[in-house]
């Protein structure tokens, strides 16, 4: 295996592995030893360092490599464009009264009826990241994309699953009620209940991010592949 790809694989494993280790088994002892602020400093430093390593390794691999599939024309891009709109709507709506986020009112949010994007999934932010990762593999199924985007997608979805366990322990009946009234897997039939704010914010993110893709990577994405 190419040395640069080995480095990317190592960096991706380090990024995902340290995130899980610091978020779960090591969190409590490190908070006791360093205090909440000290723990967050260590967590942020490790996350930043491993992500930079992964980013540099990704660039070092280069855009080459044999894709897993090819010759489908615009079909992957059309699918990715639609899926990224969904991901953007989920992400945009994920900040409103989200009991999964660190907030002293989290338990209060969890005992309320689902609202907005939480009709679709109780982990809209994590699914937004996972769908982003999946679309990148879909349109660019080369080794470096599969490794890095695959790692980020795994981090998002496995992290969401582990977050359910952690919230069950921390919030008890409140989180159990939230789980019983929401779905882990997105229910796309509920997108109509996502709310105006999520849709407006999601469309703005979708248009802005796909437009920025041209300048960041030199590759037109989203509707900009066919417009302008």
pLDDT in tens, 144-159: 999 999 999 999 999 9
Which pLDDT belongs to residue 1? 65
Residue positions counted in the chain:
228
In the chain, domain spans: 1-62, 68-225
| Digit-coded pLDDT (tens) for 42-57 | 999 999 999 999 999 9
Q: How far apart are CA 135 and CA 51, in angstroms?
A: 20
Is the full-model pTM beyond 0.85? Answer: yes
Q: Please state, rounded to an integer, the average pLDDT across all residues of the chain.
A: 94
Instruction: For residue 186, give both structure tokens.
Output: 């997105």
- With tokens 């400093």, the residue in question is 41
Angstrom distance (rounded) from CA 174 to CA 178: 6
DSSP reduced 3-state for 155: helix
């Amino acid at each position: 295996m190419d040395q640069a790809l080995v480095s990317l694989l190592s960096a991706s494993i380090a990024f995902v592995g340290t995130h899980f280790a610091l978020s779960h088994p090591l969190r409590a002892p490190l908070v006791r030893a360093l205090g909440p602020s000290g723990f967050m400093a260590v967590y942020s430093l490790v996350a930043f360092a491993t992500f930079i390593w992964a980013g540099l390794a990704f660039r070092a691999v280069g855009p080459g490599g044999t894709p897993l599939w090819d010759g489908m024309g615009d079909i992957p891009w059309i699918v990715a464009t639609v899926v990224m709109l969904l991901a953007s709507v989920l992400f945009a709506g994920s900040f409103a009264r989200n009991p999964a986020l660190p907030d002293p009112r989290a338990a209060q949010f969890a005992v309320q009826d689902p609202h907005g994007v939480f009709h679709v999934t109780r982990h809209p932010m994590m699914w937004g990241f996972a769908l982003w990762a999946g679309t990148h593999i879909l349109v660019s199924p080369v080794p470096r994309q599969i490794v890095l985007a695959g790692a980020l997608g795994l981090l998002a979805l496995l992290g969401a699953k582990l977050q359910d366990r952690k919230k069950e322990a921390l919030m008890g009946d409140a989180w159990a009620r939230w789980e019983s009234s929401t779905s882990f897997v997105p229910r796309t039939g509920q997108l109509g209940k996502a709310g105006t704010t999520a849709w407006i914010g999601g469309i703005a993110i979708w248009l802005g991010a796909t437009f920025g893709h041209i300048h960041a990577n030199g590759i037109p994405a989203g509707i900009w592949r066919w417009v302008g």
